[in-house]
Structure 1
Amino acid sequence: MNIIETEAISKRYDDFLAVNRVDLQVPEDSIYGVLGPNGAGKTTLISMLCTILHPTSGRGWVNGYDIVRESKKVRESIGIVFQSRALDDILTGREHLEMHAALYGVPGDIRKQRIEEVLELIALGDKADEYVKTYSGGMKRRLEIGRGLIHHPRVLFLDEPTLGLDPQTRESIWKYIRKLNREEDVTVLLTTHYMEEADKLCDEVAIMSRGRIIKADAPRNLKRELGADKITVKVDRAGEFYELIGKQDYVREAFISGDEIKLLVEAGENLIPEIVNFAAARGFYIRSVELEHPTLEDVFIKYTGSGIGGEA
């Protein structure tokens, strides 16, 4: 069952088409990523789904509610963490959660319990009564995520949730996103331009470029479509080895550069022993062997013609 759906949804600003006839299907209880560079239309798309912006054309539904005609019901169903920080440094973490619980109408008799649950979920219980100005960047992001969860939303929107964080803190945020998805039964839709984030965190990924969804599937399926692993072999008598190995049935393509041979194969990890044995049986000396699997960056380049930063 899909908890978010759109049909040819578009957003135009004068002559600029920011989102162009996007069809999106987000399965319930999944972590779904919209991957694309800055300016791809990710934030505009998420803003329409959150009812912040009205579509120019097309339709969308969140938790079964029409994002235009039933916008109040949509807002009651969702939590949002914006790309820009929106915390007050002179409030404590607990005060932030109390304020948002009140704003979302969480009943007073269960508010305290809910705040404690969220503090435990985001691992800020021991820092709850300290001022936010003393928090690290990762702690502030976890607090913002917890704030978006305070009213038990069905869907949590995260716009570039780890932007500007160091790699270690980013990994920590991923852990909490997985935890809340599992323990809170909340569907997470996030936008990102980090390939690793989309690959490691998301159940499904939609590649977005110039306002359009180019391709959507599970990261492993997207990478599998490229088909080939790359094995790089450094070997003596490289020219001779290149002529022989390139004729083997398991080699789709072979390339040579100096003493380095690149082989495109399937299931490369299973073929490394065979390639080493092949070389040894014919008297070749292998200096090194490296295996590379297709990456989401490779997929992105295939479907958009450029890398995430726009380079060809």
Structure 2
Amino acid sequence: MSFPTNSRPQLGFIRKYPVDLALVSLIAALVALVVTGVPAGNAGRLLVAFPLVLFLPGYALVSVLFPAAARDGRDDAETAIERRPRGIDTVERLGLSFALSIAIVPVVGIVLPLTEWGLATESAAAVLAGLTVVLAQLGVIRRLRTPARDRFTVSLTAALTGLRRDEGTVATASSVLLVVAIAVAGGALLAGFLFPASTGGFSELALYTEDEDGDLVAGELPDEVAPGESVPVSFAIENHEGEETSYTVVVQEQVLEDGEVVERTELGQIDGTVSADTTGVAEREITPAAGDGETVRISLLLYPGEPPAEPTNENAEADTYFWVTVTEDAAE
């Protein structure tokens, strides 16, 4: 004897699962995949990231905070004694979504540099997408625990009906304008930060030396050397240009008076190629040309491609330096 199967209980949760939160989770995950998969500097990647920065995290958080729909005055009067969850209407929900998203993104930008991932487009997109998905699932739980008659549901018909009501038309129009204003302001702010970076990348130069264990450390270069003695240095070039780049590092000895460079001596040039979004490290022995008793500044000047005829700290893409005094006492 066989018993008939019933799939309705298994499908019940799926039928009740909020469509809007499912879409929010799916879009957030897709945006994160696109941002982490498309090469840096691509304008399309920035455009795809807009929803993840401006709307999705805030909408998921609003769903957690306000699982119920707004009630009209008659419902409030009839159930003044009854405890019911407080809700907001669709326009308020959209406005808060933009506002909270704009508030969440700076927090992520502050926290990420303190982690091992650092602040980068890929890590920011992954964190924002993960946060959105988690908040959306909490929103699902909160919404399904809300009584069905109070639960917020996405309904285009109900939204249009609310807009056609005579009472509150001016307030509704004002709310719509507020949502549009927040979205435009947030989009302009995001474009101001992101699009200038998309027009051209940047490179970074850092100076290191080896400690007794062979590890690269910063700030431990010798400040005194004997005449003819070399200073072993390591420098790292971080390529954020969006493509493989050939670099030239000009090593220059500089004599300064009152903060102004009065004499420059080129000690050599170092050429190399660094792949996009990677760091290249090189080691060199730098021998100052200064005489006994002189204190000079050794500058490393970074240039993508060929350096200019007169390299300076001002026209370099990036620069770093250290001070050293040439003295016979260093030999002792």
TM range (shorter): under 0.3
TM-score by length of 2: 0.22
TM-score by length of 1: 0.23
Higher helix share: 2
The higher-RCO structure (CA 8 Å, 6+ apart) is 1
